[in-house]
Structure 1
Amino acid sequence: MRIPIIRLISIQLWKQSLQNRAVIFLLLILSALFVFAAYTGWKDYKVQEDIRIKHQAEVRHQWEEKPDKHPHRMAHYGYLIFRARYPLSFFDYGLERYMGNSVFLEAHKQNTVNFSEAGFSSGMLRFGEVSTAMILQTLIPLFIFFLGFSCISAERENNTLKVLLSQGVRWKELLAGKILGLLYLVGMVFMPVMLLSVVMWLFLSGFKFNITEFLRLLLIGGTYFLYFFIVCSICVMVSAVSRTSRSSLIKLIGLWLLFIVIIPRTAQAFGGYLHPAPSKIDFDTKVENELVKTGDSHDPNDIYYKGIKDSLLQAYKVETVEELPFNYSGYIMAEGEKISSGIYNRHWARQLEIYDEQNSVNHSLSFINPFQAVRDLSMALTGSDFNSYVSYQGQVESYRYQLAQLMNKLQMENISNKKLKENEKPYTISRDHWKELPDFKYQYLSQTALFQNEMASVLSLLVWALGLLVVLHFMSKKIKVS
C-alpha cells in the first residue's frame, strides 16, 4: 500500500466532514458533554472522598476514646468502615453507584456494604449516568457511524468510485484511508478528553505522581483507541458493501442497537437464567442453619463447646476453667469466631462461583460484541468493576476477623477467670488497648490480578482488531464497484 495515497484519502475525508455544519455542531455538543461529564465525575469523587476521610477519622477517634471496657463488649460495639474509591473512578463510574459506601464490623456477624447511592436514587439511574466512559463507549460509535456511513457508498452513488479506482487507487488504500480519516475526526475529541483526564487525575492526587495509576490511564487510552479502530473499520466495511448510503445507515444503526443495547441486556438476563444465585435471605438462612448445628459459643452449657472445655481441662491438667492460665471465655469466643467465619467464607465462596459463572456468559459474548469487552476492561482499569468490589469485601472481612480475634486475645490475656461477686465491678481493661487495632488499609487490585480477571476482554479486543484487518484484506479483493 502507498502511504501518501492513504494519507491523501484520509485528509480529504477529514476536510470534507469539517465542512459540514452538522458535524461541527455535533463536535461542539460532544465537547460540552465531555466537559460536563469530566467536571461532575471529578467533583463527585472529591466530595465523596472528603466525606469519607472526615467520617473515617471520626470513627477512629471515637473508637480510641472509648472508656475502659470489657474486650468482648468492644467487639460487639463494632467498627465502621467507609469504602474508598479508586482515584480513576471519576472517568468510569462502573458499579460505583450500586456498591454501597459503608460497612459495620462486629464479632460473629458479617454485615453487607450498605447505603449505595442507587438505593437512594430514582429508577432513572437504570438508564445510566453521563460519565466520560459512557460517552466514549456509546455516543462516539454513533458519531462515527454518522460521519462514515456514506464514506464509500456515497461515492458509489455519485459514480466517483469508478473514477478513483480507474486512476490507480487500490481498494486496500481506499479502505485504509477512510478508516484513518475517521480516526482523525475521533481523535479531535478523544485526545483532549484524555489530556483533560490526566489533568484532573493530577489535581485529585494532589500532583503526587503514581506510576500505577498513570499506567492505567495509558492503558485506558490504548483500550479506547483500539475500540474506535474496530468501530471505524466496521463503519467503512458496511459502507463499502452497501449499494446506497440509506441502506448503510440503517445497517449501522441496527448494529449500534445490537451491540450497545440488545446483546448486553440479553447477556445479563441469560447469565442469571442459566446460573441462578440465591437471594440474600436464602444465603443468610443457609449460613444461619449451619451455624446452629455447630453450637453457640455464648452458651456455657452448649454440648459442642463443652467438648472443647473438657479437652482444655485435660490438656492443662486442671479441674476447673478458673485454674486455666488464660481466660476461658475469651478462648471459646475465639474458637466460635473461627468456626462462624469459616462457615460464612465457605458459603460466600460458593456464591462468588455462581457470580463468576454468570459473568462468564458476558465474557464469552464479548467475542461477539466489542462494546462489552471495552466496558468491562474500562471498569477494571478504573477500579469500579465487580472484581474490585469482591476484593474490597474480602479485605473488610479479614479486617473484621482481625478485630474480633484481637478483642478475644485481649480478653484471654487480661481478664480473670474468677467469677465476679455480687457487688464487684465488671472486669475491664485499659482504653489504651483500643489503639492496638490498626487502621484499615484497602489494597487495590494489582495489575496482574486485573489482567487475569479481564483476560477475555483483552483477547476479545485483539481478536476483533486482527480479525477485521484480515477481513479488510480479503474484502479488498472481492468488493464490487457497483
Structure 2
Amino acid sequence: MTARFRSTVAAIARTEWRAMLRNQVAVAAGVLMLALTLAAILVSHERVRAVNAERARFQASADEQWHSQPDRHPHRVVHYGHYVFRPLSPLAFFDFGVDPFTGHTLFLEGHRQNSANFSDAGQSSVLLRFGQLTPAFVLQVLTPLLIVFLAFGSVARERERGQLRLQLTQGVKGTTLLAGKLAAHAAIAMLLASPAFVALGAIAVLHGAVAAEALAILAGYALYLLVWAVAAVLVSALLPRARDALLALVGGWIVTAILLPRVMPDFATMDIERPTRIETEVAIHERLKALGDSHDPDDPYFSRFRQQVLAKYGVARIEDLPVNYGGLVMQEGERLTSELFDEFMRADYERQTAQSGIVHRAALASPVIALRRMSTALAGTNLDSHTRFLFEGEKYRYRFVQALNRLHTTEIRYQNDRDQRVGKHHWDDTPRFGYAPAPFAEVAPRHAWPAFALLGGWLAALAVSARWVAQRLERTGK
C-alpha cells in the first residue's frame, strides 16, 4: 500500500465525513443512536444489578430458613425442601437472551423434580413481548438500519450527480474510491457502537473472570457492523440510483435482521415438537408406576430389594438390620426417580438443541442469527446456560436429599421410626448451592468460533465482491 494510495483513501473518507456532517438529519440520527445505546447500557446494567441483588437476598432468606429448622425427622426435611436461585453473569446486561422467558428459581425436594419458576415474562405485562431495550438489540437491529441510511447514497448519489464519472476520468482508481468510502463508513459504524464497546471494555477490566467473553463479544459485534458497512457501500456502488440502493438495503435488513430471526424458531418448533409440561408429567408418572413405589411395602420391586438387603447383611428380619431399613428404601427410591428425571430432562434438552440447530443453519443467510448465538452464549443467557442451571440444581437436589436419607438410615432407629428426631445442627452440614457458568474454553468452540467463522466468511465474501465492483466501476466509468 503506497503513501499516495493511503493519502487518497484518507482524502475520500474525509470528504464523505464532511458530506455527512453537513446533513443535519444524518447528524441528528447519529446523536440519537449514541444516546439510545448509552440509555440501553445504563438501563440494562441497572436491571441486572437489581435482579442479582434481589436473587441474592432471596437466596440468603431461603438459606436462613433452612438452617433455622428445629430438630426434625430427616424425611420431614426431605419434603420441607429448599429454594435455589440462579445469579446472572456481569455480561447479562448486554444481551438478556432467554433469561426473561425462563424461570430462575428452583424448589428442591425429595421424589420430585420441579421446573424453574418466576420468569420475568410470566410476572410482567404483555408489553414485555415487544422486546426489551438492550445494547445487543440496538447493535443487532437498529444500528445496521442507521448504517444503511447513512451509506446507501455514498456512491450511487455521486453517480446520479455525475461526480463519479468525473473522479474516475481524473485518474482515481475504483479500488481507491471504494476503499475511501468503506473506510469512512466503517469508522462511522465503530463510532455508533463506541458506547457499547466502552462498556464491554469496562466489564473486561472490572470482572476479570469474564474478560475473555467481553472481548469476544466486542470483536463479534465489530465484525457484524463492518459487514453491514461494507455491504451498504457495495450495494450503493452496484445499483444505478440511490433510491434503488436504499430499497435493496432496507429489504435486506428486513429479511436478515427481522424476518429470519423471528420465523426460524417457529419453523424449528413445527419441525421438532416438544411435549408440554403436563404430557411430560403424565409420562413420568406412568414410568414411576412401572419402576416401583418406595412408600408401598408390598411393591414387587421393593419386595425384591428387601430380600437383597437382608441377604447382604446376613439377617432374617428387617428389625435385625444394623441400619434403618426405611432409610435404605428412601435412598433406593430416590436413586430410581432421579435417574428417570434425568432421562426426561436430557431428552427434552436434546429436542431443544435440535430446534436450535435448525435456527442456526439459517445464519448463512442472516448474520444476526450467528451473532445472537455467540452473544447470548458468552453473556450466559442462552439455552445452554439455563439448562446448565437446571442440571446443576438437580445434582444438588439429589446430593442433599440422599444426605438426609443417609441420616435417616444411620441416625434413626427402625422401631418407632416416625416419632424420632435428629439434632438441628445437621442442617448446618448441608453444602450451599453454588452455580458456576460454563468456562470460556467450553463455550467458545461451540458458539463463539462458529459465529466468528461465519461473520468472517461474510466479510471475506464482501471483500472479494468489492474488488469486482471496483473493476466494474473502472471499466464502465459509472
- TM-score bin (small chain): over 0.9
What's the offset of the Cα at 1:119?
0.6
What's the offset of the Cα at 1:457?
2.3
Equivalent residues in 2 for 1:273-422 (5 A)? Answer: 273-419=270-416
Match of 2:59 in 1: 56
**Residues 89, 382 of structure 1: 8 Å contact kept:** yes
The residue type paired with residue 311 of structure 2 is Q
**Residues 236, 242 of structure 2: 8 Å contact kept:** yes
- Give CA deviations for 1:210-250 in whole Å, capped at 9, x if unaligned: 32312222111111110011001110111011110011111
SS at match of 1:114: coil
Equivalent residues in 2 for 1:31-50 (5 A)? Answer: 31-50=34-53
**Residues 81, 108 of structure 2: 8 Å contact kept:** yes
CA distance in 2, matches of 1:301, 1:194: 66
The residue type paired with residue 462 of structure 1 is G
Is the aligned partner of 1:458 residue 2:452?
yes
Is the aligned partner of 1:221 residue 2:215?
no
What's the offset of the Cα at 1:15?
2.1
SS at match of 1:80: strand
CA distance in 1, matches of 2:452, 2:340: 36
CA distance in 1, matches of 2:429, 2:440: 32
**Residues 81, 107 of structure 2: 8 Å contact kept:** yes
Task: Choose which of 436, 443, 456 in structure 1 pairs with 2:436.
Answer: 443
Task: Choose which of 174, 181, 189 in structure 2 pairs with 1:186.
Answer: 189
- Give CA deviations for 1:330-354 in whole Å, capped at 9, x if unaligned: 1111111111111111122111111
SS at match of 2:435: coil
Match of 1:156 in 2: 159
What's the offset of the Cα at 1:127?
1.9
CA distance in 2, matches of 1:298, 1:222: 57
What's the offset of the Cα at 1:278?
1.2
What's the offset of the Cα at 1:302?
1.2
CA distance in 2, matches of 1:227, 1:320: 72
SS at match of 2:364: coil
**Residues 363, 457 of structure 1: 8 Å contact kept:** no
Is the aligned partner of 1:69 residue 2:72?
yes
Is the aligned partner of 1:481 residue 2:474?
no
CA distance in 2, matches of 1:105, 1:257: 44
TM-score normalized with structure 1 length = 0.95
Match of 1:131 in 2: 134
Match of 2:21 in 1: 18
CA distance in 1, matches of 2:185, 2:261: 26
**Residues 52, 83 of structure 1: 8 Å contact kept:** yes
Percent sequence identity is 30
SS at match of 1:177: helix
CA distance in 2, matches of 1:361, 1:476: 37
What's the offset of the Cα at 1:173?
2.0
Match of 1:78 in 2: 81
CA distance in 2, matches of 1:221, 1:13: 26
CA distance in 1, matches of 2:372, 2:21: 29
The residue type paired with residue 477 of structure 2 is V
- Give CA deviations for 1:130-150 in whole Å, capped at 9, x if unaligned: 111110111100010010000
SS at match of 1:129: coil
Task: Choose which of 20, 26, 31 in structure 2 pairs with 1:28.
Answer: 31
What's the offset of the Cα at 1:189?
2.7
- Give CA deviations for 1:104-138 in whole Å, capped at 9, x if unaligned: 00011010110111012233222211111110111
CA distance in 1, matches of 2:329, 2:430: 21
SS at match of 2:16: helix
- Give CA deviations for 1:369-409 in whole Å, capped at 9, x if unaligned: 10111122111111111111111111111111111111111
The residue type paired with residue 214 of structure 1 is A
The residue type paired with residue 468 of structure 1 is L
**Residues 363, 456 of structure 1: 8 Å contact kept:** no
- Structure 1 gap segments, 5+ residues each: none
CA distance in 2, matches of 1:43, 1:10: 38
Match of 1:8 in 2: 11
CA distance in 1, matches of 2:159, 2:253: 24
TM-score normalized with structure 2 length = 0.95
SS at match of 2:413: coil
What's the offset of the Cα at 1:191?
1.9
Match of 2:169 in 1: 166
**Residues 275, 354 of structure 1: 8 Å contact kept:** yes
What's the offset of the Cα at 1:198?
4.1
Task: Choose which of 114, 117, 125 in structure 1 pairs with 2:117.
Answer: 114
Q: Mark the CA change 1:327 to 1:481 in structure 2 (over 3 Å): closer, same or farther.
A: farther
- Give CA deviations for 1:169-213 in whole Å, capped at 9, x if unaligned: 2222222221210121122232233224444x48xxxx8x43231
What's the offset of the Cα at 1:419?
3.3
CA distance in 1, matches of 2:201, 2:454: 27
The number of aligned residues is 472
CA distance in 2, matches of 1:323, 1:165: 102
**Residues 38, 195 of structure 2: 8 Å contact kept:** no
SS at match of 2:58: helix
SS at match of 2:107: strand
- Structure 2 gap segments, 5+ residues each: none
- Give CA deviations for 1:263-297 in whole Å, capped at 9, x if unaligned: 11221111111111111111221111111100111
